[in-house]
Amino acid sequence: MLGNDYAAQDCSIARALEVVGERWTLLLLRDAFLGVRRFNDFQVHLDIPRGVLAERLRHLVADGVLRREPDPADGRSAVYELTPEGRELWPVLHALTVWGGRRRAGAGRRRFLHVPCGTELDAQAACPACGVVPPAADVLTTYGAARSDARTDRVSVALREPRRLLAPLDAAA
């Protein structure tokens, strides 16, 4: 039941789900787009067992979605960054966000703005003012007022500040 093999399903969606369809993987990738790079930061924010997180990261590196590099702040540990292939998942994450948030009002609502012009992206992740679909690096995200029961871990708090996608989160471990 937990396998990730949809080999008998000859379709591109099945191929995508073999890479990103496991539980927690898309939330982990959401965090990577928000700038989370360190194991401990993923762990604090996702609040999942370390073994599960390690296994998900290992798969994503093996599948070419994430790249594991020495931590510039501490060469003995590592940071995980989206590869160009991983960055192409931005429209998937954006479409899920739009669908999941379609009935959500201000509190806890994340918005996505095109950096050069400040216009909010439309449901297709396009900038209506510029007529382009900006790459994730050109997108600023903001967060509405936190819900009263919002998480208070240091990563959650940092990610509620306005931030550019893919800009490294510097919360140390």
Kindly state the number of chain residues that form the binding site for a second copy, as judged by CB under 8 A. 51
Number of H helices and E strands in the chain, helices first, is: 7, 5
CB of 70 to a second copy, least distance (A): 28
Residue for token digits 């900038």?
127
Segment near a second copy (CB under 8 A); pick from 18-26, 36-44, 74-82, 162-170: 18-26
- 135 and 93 Cβ atoms separated by less than 8 Å: no
Using CB under 8 A, which of 110, 119, 135, 142 touches a second copy? 110
Interatomic CA distance for residues 109 and 40, integer angstroms: 25
Using CB under 8 A, which of 44, 52, 61, 158 touches a second copy? 52
Give the 3-state secondary structure percentages of the chain, helix then strand then coil, rounded to 5. Answer: 35, 15, 45
What phi, psi does 81 have (nearest 5°)?
Answer: -130, 150
Q: Is 1 in the site for a second copy (CB under 8 A)?
A: yes
Judged by the rule CB under 8 A, the positions of this chain that interact with a second copy are 1-2, 6, 8-17, 19, 21, 23, 26-27, 30, 46-47, 52, 88-89, 91-102, 104, 108-110, 123-126, 133, 146-147, 149-151, 156
